[in-house]
Amino acid sequence: MSQIEQFALIGNGRQNNKVFTIDSGESVTCYLKASGSDTATAKYYDLKSAAMKCAILNTAIATITHINGHELDSPLTLGNLNWNTFSIGIRWTKITVRADTDNTRFEVLAY
């Protein structure tokens, strides 16, 4: 199995997850590669390299507004109460998620 095939199956070899709750209109940026101190609007995963896979579980309708620092022309709607899993085509360094409903709980897993 090639290294690319291994990455596709298991990610970058490191993983971390964060759980947070935000209200309607609020956003949180998840810095998957970088290290730092978590705040209300920034969560740091310290994976040391880009994540090959990202999974997001949210309790209400929400969106991804930025991927790797680039604002999306049309935010990506996340389904709720099921894992939204992204595993092909993007090396994830950071994402920004926004709640569309008060008291939206997110769990973001990167690996």
pLDDT of residue 45: 94
pLDDT of residue 83: 93
Task: Indicate the pTM of the whole model.
Answer: 0.87
pLDDT of residue 31: 97
Distance CA 54, CA 52 (A): 7
Give the total number of structural domains in the chain.
1
Which residue in this structure is represented by tokens 């209400």? 60
Do 22 and 81 contact (CB within 8 A), yes or no?
no
Q: What angle do CA 39, 28, 104 make, to 5 degrees?
A: 110
Q: Which residues of the chain have pLDDT under 50?
A: 1-8
pLDDT of residue 15: 84
Domain that holds residue 30: 3-110
pLDDT of residue 11: 54
Q: Which residues contact 38 (CB under 8 A, 6 or more apart)?
A: 18, 44
Residue 76: CB atoms within 10 A of its CB come to 15
